[in-house]
Amino acid sequence: MASAAPSLESLMGGYQEGDFAAAAALVNRLSPQLHRFFLAQLASREFADDLLQETWMRIHEARHTYRPGEPLTPWIYAIARHVRVDHYRKIKRRAVREQPLEDDHEISQPGARGPDTGPDLQTVLATLPESQREVITLLKVTGLSLEEVARATSSSVGAVKQKAHRAYDRLRKLWGGTDAGKGAES
């Protein structure tokens, strides 16, 4: 009879107590969804890999601040969100200071798709304002609940619902979808 996998919270408790196996198990269980979180918002796998590594470094440094008994995923995603924001700020600062050497060469877009495959997730999400993109990514890509997204973004559940609703409306308008709020008239 196989035993049930330990909860993320119990793994974090072990990690806080210096249990290497618990830390490794935590990294192995959460890294794939954290990586998807970064990939959904960045065009580069390399940046997503770097941000994942930076997130684990910050989690390691801040592990003593996690309160046992509290849900772990919102705490983790709050750190990941701050890592991502810091990354954007760094890129903006660099863009202001640096000028490209050549701007006459064409760079192919990563993951370019054929004309009949439709837009990819990154293209669709790029049309949203940052706060809406973040909420949609946390809800739909990483699968967090409304409450977990609210904790991770330091928002209320109502604010998360509002951002998600506005994002869905915007996406329907941009991509020619139907208004899901109206029923079929008979």
Contact 128, 135 (CB under 8 A): no
Domain boundaries of the chain, sorted by first residue: 7-96, 120-178
**Which pTM does this prediction carry?**
0.59
Dist. CA 37–CA 85, nearest whole Å: 13
Nearest to 142 by CA among 41, 6, 56: 41
Note every long-range contact of 35-38, with CB atoms under 8 Å and residues 24 or more positions apart, other chains counting.
36/141, 36/142, 37/77, 37/80, 37/137, 37/138, 37/141, 37/142, 38/80, 38/84
Cα angle, residue 93 at apex, residues 128 and 36 outer, rounded to 5°: 45
Tokens of 173: 């308008």
Top CATH class, 7-96: mainly alpha
| Radius of gyration, CA atoms only, the chain | 19
Taking only the tens place, the pLDDT of each residue in 25-68 is 999 999 999 999 988 877 678 889 999 999 999 999 999 999 99
Nearest to 124 by CA among 52, 173, 184: 173
**How far apart, in Å, are the Cα atoms of 8 and each of 2, 14, 55, 72, 179?**
18, 10, 16, 7, 39
Question: 1.10.10.10, 3.20.20.10, 3.40.190.10, 3.30.43.10: which CATH number matches 120-178?
Answer: 1.10.10.10
Q: Which one has a higher pLDDT value, 11 or 172? A: 11
**Mean pLDDT rounded to a whole number for the chain:** 82
Cα angle, residue 134 at apex, residues 131 and 139 outer, rounded to 5°: 125
Cα angle, residue 62 at apex, residues 43 and 19 outer, rounded to 5°: 105
Q: Which residue has the tokens 């959904």?
A: 40
Predicted local distance difference test score (pLDDT) of residue 180: 47
Neighbouring C-alpha atoms within 13 Å toward the C-beta of 5: 9
Predicted local distance difference test score (pLDDT) of residue 129: 86
Taking only the tens place, the pLDDT of each residue in 125-144 is 888 888 888 898 888 888 88
Tokens of 42: 């960045």
